[in-house]
Structure 1
Amino acid sequence: MTSDRAPRAVPWGRVVATGVAAVGWALLGMAAVAALGLHLLGTDRRAALGPSTAALVTMAVGGRVHAFGNVSAFGRGAAATGVIGLLPLGVALTGALLVARVFLRSLRGADPGVRPTELAARAAVVVALFTAAVAGLAWAGQDTVSLRGGPAGDGNGLPGGLAGLDGAFSRGLDTLGRTHGSVGFRVDTAASAGGGALWIVVVLALALAAGRRAPAGCGPVHRVVRPAVSAWCTVLLLAVAAGLAVAACAAVTDDHPARVAGGALLGTPNAVWFATTLGLFVPWSGRASGPLTVLLPDPLGRVLGSARGPVTVRGLAELDGRVWLLPVAAAVLVLAAGVLTAVRTPPADAPPGRRVARIAVRDAVAGAVALPALVGLTGFSVAAGLSAFGVDAAGAALSLHGSLGRAVLLGAAWGAAGGAAGGALALLTGTEGSRAARDGNGRDGNGRGRNGWGREG
């Protein structure tokens, strides 16, 4: 009999083919979501949809877009500048789910466990292909929007959040009179390629950590890491699904359903995950000035537009009492994550208190990583300016950033509480470990086989 540990060559043909499939499906899905969202928002009425879509996809993986232009009015020259640092997480989440799905399915043919060398080769191919594709999109993500016959901008000339820059430029042009010229946008290729490489590495790491099957030799680590990681990923995805359902209901009753649908398609994860961190009492701070203020929903726009300062649940609730529902919803999410961690953790021969404590500790670590990650993903900054003769004629800024240090502490505290409560519920109902994953050899945490787990991939 041939040993399972006998070395074997990396099947490069299959590795490259699956890498191309993973990257291709991810980019196709991201481009489709980005193009549809921009179309629903009306961006393609003023700017070419292809470059706008390319720019938005690169923004989704950490790219930075710059706006620039030259405008003349009554013989006077003005320079338009702008920069946007924003992740359209609707696009990013689509790509992450697709690449993780294809990548994990490609590993199933290697059961009872893909070898470390083959796993490293598969991951390296996906990273290289995705980075090269993002660099190409960054090169293609540039366009120019013409301004003729008067103040520009109905807010639909530039991709994504750059529509706000268009409005900011327009406000400044009002001070200069009848205008003509152009405002364009371009993507920083080097920054986008670096951001794309980091993005795909994180996505693959999360996919391997949350997947039901562990690579060969990683079974013990996978049994410790997987329950909490997969639980938090699941509840965050369910929160996004709930947000999309709410947005769909809002679109039906709104006077501009296409705009609501386009905004929801691109930004629902941003709004939902920001609300989650806010509901868990992570303090935020930001500022808003100029026409960019109208991009924020109420009451957040009123808080940032009135004065620069912290954004808290209490402060927003003073303007809208419904904000107090955020802590309730966020607490339910944390409890759900604790329950899922408990049912996915292989049971151990230990007293009930120690088993609950083990789940609480794992959830605390996961929360301490997840909450600051959400804060970093949902924070953003947008700036626009118009200058004439070296003097600023108009400007607008919009930024919102959370406290990463507080997010770590609060994530650990909430994770521990949710894990303890979820573990206790699982023990009381007898569901602890009922959904524990198998290791690379098809056995669960207690060495049992695949009974009840279905057929092999």
Structure 2
Amino acid sequence: MSSRTLSDPAVARHGWAQALFTVLGGLIAMGLVAALGLWAAGAADLPDGSFPRVLAATVVTAVGGSVGLAGDAGDLAGAEGGLTVMPLSVTLTGALFIGWGFLRPLRHRAVTGAPELAGWAARIVALWLIALLCLAFAARHTFKISLGKGALRDLSDLFGLSPEVGFAADVPLTVLVGLLWLAGVLVLALLVSRGAPLPGRLLRFQTAVRPAAHAMLQLLLAFVVIGLVIALVVAATRGHPAETFAVILLGLPNVTWLALTIGLGATWDGRVEGPFGLPMPHLLDEVLRTEDVSALNLSTLAEHDGRVWWLLVADAVLLLAVAFVMAALSPARVRAWQHAVHLAVALALAVLTICLVGRISVRLGLSVLGIGDLGTGLSGRILLKPRLPVALGLALLWGLVAGFAGALLARETHHRGHHRGRSDRLTGAAG
């Protein structure tokens, strides 16, 4: 095994090449998924050649960046709005690729030094910063608004108004949050990988942290895979394939991880109003399109489709499965109550992350002479936010129960394997 490391001068240039591959590869993967999703959602028909700008804005929001909406037509008309939503299909694609690229040069190492690890991460961060700046400056465009017919059109003709609405990324905030997003991806990549080397001082924590972190990765990806299979079946049997593929390519984790928290018993508050919406299953749109903010949970969804109770079963089965795997792969000295605590903390952190990245707030309004929406079909709002304390409490409870049960099942498996091996040895000795 070679003793040369990424911090050695002889391989520094190669380290920069690997970092460039990681950053560019992640951006290309994210851009491809976002472009296909936007195309399926109909964004390819946007005027003025704005598709590349919208694509840049989509990638910006996928890493937590901020995109503001605004518009005007002189002093007599104006448009305002805001956009807070992460297309998590794009986010997950970038995180998986960058995490893989970050760990790849370390795959043949048993341990690594903190300076070496920090230096390797710093190369990726430096290149990512340049990419963030380019994306943030590219994510801006202005559209002319078609007012249609009615009173608002008459007012615009009378005063010679030509309203415009546009979007622009908040460059400083996008850079700050984008860097934090990357730091989170790199740290999580080290935590969920069972074989990646750690600095010597951190090795004592890997027994408590890594099995639980890896279990959460398995749980989240399992929900995405199950959601993907269901979505493909829906696209093949119920029509509207473009809409379904828009959901898959832009917001599949938004839907499946929301389903995970709802299956645990969590409640989200939401509302959809106006003519526009985000790619989401019809059931969610139906529940949320009300005159006031609606509660989104197992009970309210079951009023429209009783099959949602299967989410409860899916959560229980998958949590028990990952708890069993976590305990089976952990050292035998770890007790059942410790497995329960580890899984409870990991699940609570996973649910916290879902609640933070799964929030949606979209608002757009147009006014002329201080008069709000007059039939333009442009004003509307989408809101989705979790009841966080209840969600975290339920996650801790589920994690404790599933972790303890999984540990008992794994212990029984270990005991059977131990007795079977002992019996085989005795039989061999007697023969």
TM range (shorter): 0.7 to 0.9
Deviation at 1:200, TM superposition (A): 0.5
- In 2, the alpha carbon distance for the partners of 1:432 and 1:53 equals 55
Distance in 1 separating the partners of 2:241 and 2:152: 30
Matched, 1:215 2:215: no
> What letter matches 1:43 in structure 2?
A
Summarize the Cα distance change of 1:186–1:222 in structure 2 as closer, same or farther, 3 Å threshold: same
Report the CA distance between 1:237 and its aligned residue: 0.6
More displaced stretch, 247-256 vs 233-242: 247-256
1:258 is displaced (CA, Å) by: 2.0
Residue of 54, 57, 60 corresponding to 2:56: 54
Q: Which amino acid aligns with 1:55?
A: A
Question: What is the percentage of aligned positions where both structures have the same residue?
Answer: 36
Structure 1 residues 148 and 404: alpha-carbon distance in aligned structure 2, compared to 1, 3 A threshold: closer
User: Counterparts of 1:331 and 1:180 in 2: how far apart (Å)?
Assistant: 56
- 1:289 and 1:433 map into 2 onto residues whose CA distance is 58
State the Cα distance separating 1:219 from its structure 2 match: 2.1
Where in structure 2 are the equivalents of 1:230-249 lying within 5 Å?
Answer: 230-249=214-233
Give CA deviations for 1:233-275 in whole Å, capped at 9, x if unaligned.
0121121011111111212234431232122111100000001
Root-mean-square deviation (CA), in Å?
3.0
Aligned residues of 2:147 and 2:153 also touching (Cα < 8 A): no
State the shift of 1:357 in Å.
1.6
The 3-state SS of whatever aligns with 2:372 is strand
Partner in structure 2 of residue 443 of structure 1: none
C-alpha separation in 1, matches of 2:87 and 2:416:
37
Quick check: 1:69 aligned with 2:53? no
Query: Partner of 2:331 in structure 1?
Result: 346
* Equivalence for 1:327: 312
SS, match of residue 64 in structure 2: coil
Change in Cα spacing, 1:286 to 1:205, as seen in structure 2 (3 Å) is: same
Residue type of the alignment partner of 2:352: P
- How far 1:295 moved relative to its partner? 5.9
Partners of 2:273 and 2:311 lie apart in 1 by 26
Q: 2:169 is matched with which residue: 187, 193, 196?
A: 187
Supply the AA of the counterpart residue of 1:356: A
Partner residue in 1 for 2:113: 115
Report Cα offsets for 1:129-162 as digits up to 9, x if no partner. 21321121010011233345836xxxxxxxxxxx
State the alpha-carbon separation in 1 of the partners of residues 224 and 305 from structure 2: 22
State the distance in 1 between where 2:106 and 2:318 align. 31
1:366-420 residue CA offsets vs partner (Å, 9 max, x unmatched): 1121111111111111101111112323642211111222222211111111111
TM-score between both structures, scaled by the size of structure 1: 0.81
Letter matched to residue 357 of structure 1: W
Are the structure 2 counterparts of residues 298 and 226 from structure 1 closer, same or farther at C-alpha, using a change threshold of 3 Å? same
The equivalent of 2:427 in structure 1 is none
Using the alignment, how far apart are the partners of 1:172 and 1:420 within structure 2? 65
Equivalent runs, 1:38-437 vs 2, <5 Å: 38-47=38-47, 48-70=50-72, 77-109=76-108, 111-148=109-146, 150=148, 181-213=163-195, 214-217=197-200, 218-292=202-276, 297-304=281-288, 305-348=290-333, 355-393=335-373, 395-430=379-414
Aligned to 2:14: 14
SS of the residue corresponding to residue 335 of structure 1 reads: helix
Amino acid in the other structure paired with 1:115: G
Aligned residue for 2:28?
A: 28
Contact 2:77 2:368 in 1 (8 A): yes
Q: TM-score, normalised by structure 2?
A: 0.85
Determine the C-alpha separation between the residues in 2 that align with 1:375 and 1:172: 41
d(CA) in 1 for partners of 2:217 and 2:332?
21
Q: Which amino acid aligns with 2:246?
A: G
Whether the aligned pair in 1 keeps the contact of 2:19 and 2:123 (CA below 8 Å) is yes
SS in 2 for 1:415: helix
Aligned length: 404
Q: Please tell me whether the aligned partners of residues 255 and 280 of structure 2 are also in contact (alpha carbons under 8 angstroms).
A: no
Answer with 300-309 or 191-200: which moved more. 300-309
| C-alpha separation in 2, matches of 1:38 and 1:421 | 43
> Counterpart of 2:99 in structure 1: which amino acid?
A
Taking the aligned partners of 1:89 and 1:433, their CA distance within structure 2 comes to 41
Structure with the higher helix share, 1 or 2: 2
Distance in 2 of aligned mates of 1:318 and 1:14:
58
Q: Is the 8 A contact 2:79 2:367 kept in 1?
A: yes
Is the CA contact 1:426–1:432 (under 8 Å) kept in the aligned structure 2?
no
C-alpha distance in structure 2 between counterparts of 1:33 and 1:412, whole Å: 34
Moved more, 402-411 or 274-283: 402-411
Q: 1:24 Cα deviation (Å)? A: 1.1
In 1, the alpha carbon distance for the partners of 2:215 and 2:381 equals: 37
The one-letter code matched in structure 2 to 1:261 is F
CA distance in 2, matches of 1:417, 1:192: 39
> Is the CA contact 1:64–1:83 (under 8 Å) kept in the aligned structure 2?
no
Q: Which amino acid aligns with 2:186?
A: L
Q: Which moved more, 1:200-209 or 1:219-228?
A: 219-228
CA contact (8 A) 2:156 2:162 kept: no
Contact 1:79 1:386 in 2 (8 A): yes
* Structure 2: 5+ residue stretches without partners: 419-431
Q: Is the 8 A contact 2:247 2:280 kept in 1?
A: no
In structure 1, stretches of 5+ residues that fail to align are 152-170, 349-353, 435-457
